[in-house]
Amino acid sequence: MSELRALYQEVLLDHSKHPHNFRAMPDASRSAQGYNPLCGDKVTLYVKLEGDRIVDVSFQGTGCAISTASASILTQVLKGKTREEAEALFTRFHDFVTGHGQPDGKAPELGKLAVFSGVAEFPVRVKCATLAWHTLRSALSGSEEVVTTESAVE
């Protein structure tokens, strides 16, 4: 295992053990639930919007280390972003974990997401890593349905 990979692993584990913004949000503008039946990951995403801007985002749920770490990092990365910026990050993150792109210096936020670089090698884990992001999209679009990775467009 390379040193970088070992570091990424450590960051992921730290986020999964001590997730950021792990709380319910009673005054959320939007919320959505996501479920990954392949792994058993469940997540509820809460978003507070002011106009077009995400002023707060939090989550609750149970799941594997990757799904929890992904949701934790998502909440850190998306706070303060506009919906459009969130959508752009979703696309880039998705490309990245499915092995179609690399983070670069243009979006420093993607630096945090680099810890998922090993995920592309494990297709099953891609669903764990993207669950929170699919759920966030659903929350932003105002959908009431539970998102499952099996119906999500990959």
CA separation for the pair 74, 136 (Å, rounded):
9
Say if residues 52 and 29 touch (Cβ distance below 8 Å).
no
Q: Which is nearer to Zn ion, 39 or 107 (CB)?
A: 39
Question: Does residue 67 touch Zn ion according to CB under 5 A?
Answer: yes
How does DSSP assign the chain, residue by residue? --HHHHHHHHHHHHHHHS-TTBS--TT-SEEEEEEETTTTEEEEEEEEEETTEEEEEEEEEE--HHHHHHHHHHHHHHTT-BHHHHHHHHHHHHHHHTTS----TT-THHHHHGGGTTGGG-HHHHHHHHHHHHHHHHHHHT--SPEETTTS--
Could you say which residues in the range 94-133 bind Zn ion, by CB under 5 A?
Answer: 128
User: What is the nearest approach in angstroms of Zn ion to the Cβ of residue 41?
Assistant: 4
Question: Does residue 147 touch Zn ion according to CB under 5 A?
Answer: no
User: What is the nearest approach in angstroms of Zn ion to the Cβ of residue 65?
Assistant: 8
User: What is the nearest approach in angstroms of Zn ion to the Cβ of residue 153?
Assistant: 19
Candidate list 8, 12, 35, 41; residue touching Zn ion; CB under 5 A = 41
Listed ranges 47-55, 67-75, 108-116, 138-146: which one lies at the site for Zn ion (CB under 5 A): 67-75
Q: Which is nearer to Zn ion, 49 or 64 (CB)?
A: 64
Question: Does residue 39 touch Zn ion according to CB under 5 A?
Answer: yes
Q: Which is nearer to Zn ion, 58 or 149 (CB)?
A: 149
Residues in contact with Zn ion by CB under 5 A are 39, 41, 64, 67, 128
